[in-house]
Chains A and B, each alone.
Chain A
Amino acid sequence: GAGVSQSPSNKVTEKGKDVELRCDPISGHTALYWYRQSLGQGLEFLIYFQGNSAPDKSGLPSDRFSAERTGGSVSTLTIQRTQQEDSAVYLCASSSLHGVQPLHFGNGTRLTVT
């Protein structure tokens, strides 16, 4: 595709349920990032993948959050036992190589935990 694709665009879930958010990066981009955008706050880094290297998970807020990237392409962010404070827009971005700008962002998944 032409850009970074994220699905679903909106997700409403009940507190305590698990959710999976998907990101399909630009073809050939080896670096993939997940950020969280909460109301009134900036973009909070969550995790990034660079090629086959071990991901940098330093931004994950708790062990309820995890992410994987299969085959160096599609990534899934999983949030277990969702809480209301997890409500935010989750953004995925990719770049040709970690540290190379610009990052290309998807439109995000708006998660609402009720």
Chain B
Amino acid sequence: GNSVTQMEGPVTLSEEAFLTINCTYTATGYPSLFWYVQYPGEGLQLLLKATKADDKGSNKGFEATYRKETTSFHLEKGSVQVSDSAVYFCALSGGNAGNMLTFGGGTRLMVKP
């Protein structure tokens, strides 16, 4: 079945630092890939997505590129802000395992001023 592995947190950065959160996946077929974000006290919300190989999803300064050759979908941001402090979840759906959304373990990001 499908599975998603992402780096454990917490990740602590200073404001304006560069962010990378690694995500790799296991799936057969051609899944779609997602990053969801959970801000403190709020529900998860979709941050960005990519539906085919080499696609780049982007939103709010965050980017992630669907790399089929390395089965990865790493999340990056050039300059983080305190307001980016949240838990980030990598997820996938589709491929040969159907449309169920499978999540990674989540990575907590803390940005200090």
Whether B102 contacts A103 by the Cβ 8 Å rule is no
**Chain B residues within 8 Å of A11, by CB:** none
Whether B99 contacts A99 by the Cβ 8 Å rule is yes
**Chain B residues within 8 Å of A102, by CB:** 34, 36, 45-46, 49
Whether A43 contacts B89 by the Cβ 8 Å rule is yes
**Chain B residues within 8 Å of A45, by CB:** 100-102
Within 8 A of B (CB), among A32-65: 33, 35, 40-43, 45, 48, 56
The CB with the most chain A CB atoms within 10 A, among B36, B44, B102, is that of B44
Tell me if A70 is interfacial: C-beta within 8 Å of chain B. Answer: no
- State A93–B36 Cα separation when bound (angstroms): 13
The CB with the most chain B CB atoms within 10 A, among A99, A101, A102, A106, is that of A101
Tell me if A105 is interfacial: C-beta within 8 Å of chain B. Answer: yes
B52 CB to nearest A CB, Å? 14
Q: How many A-B residue pairs have CB under 8 A?
A: 53
- State A43–B49 Cα separation when bound (angstroms): 18
- State A108–B44 Cα separation when bound (angstroms): 10
Tell me if A4 is interfacial: C-beta within 8 Å of chain B. Answer: yes
> Contact mask B67-83 → A, CB, 8 Å, 1/0?
00000000000000000
- State A24–B43 Cα separation when bound (angstroms): 14
Beyond A91-B43, A91-B44, whether A101 also contacts B32 by CB under 8 A is yes
Whether B41 contacts A99 by the Cβ 8 Å rule is no
Tell me if A3 is interfacial: C-beta within 8 Å of chain B. Answer: yes
A95 CB to nearest B CB, Å? 9
- State A35–B42 Cα separation when bound (angstroms): 15
- State A108–B45 Cα separation when bound (angstroms): 13
B1 CB to nearest A CB, Å? 10
Within 8 A of A (CB), among B83-104: 89, 93-94, 98-104
* 5 further interface pairs, Cβ-Cβ under 8 Å (given A102-B46, A105-B45, A106-B43): A41-B105, A42-B89, A42-B105, A105-B44, A107-B43
> Which residues of chain A have a CB within 8 Å of any CB of chain B?
3-4, 33, 35, 40-43, 45, 48, 56, 91, 93, 98-99, 101-108
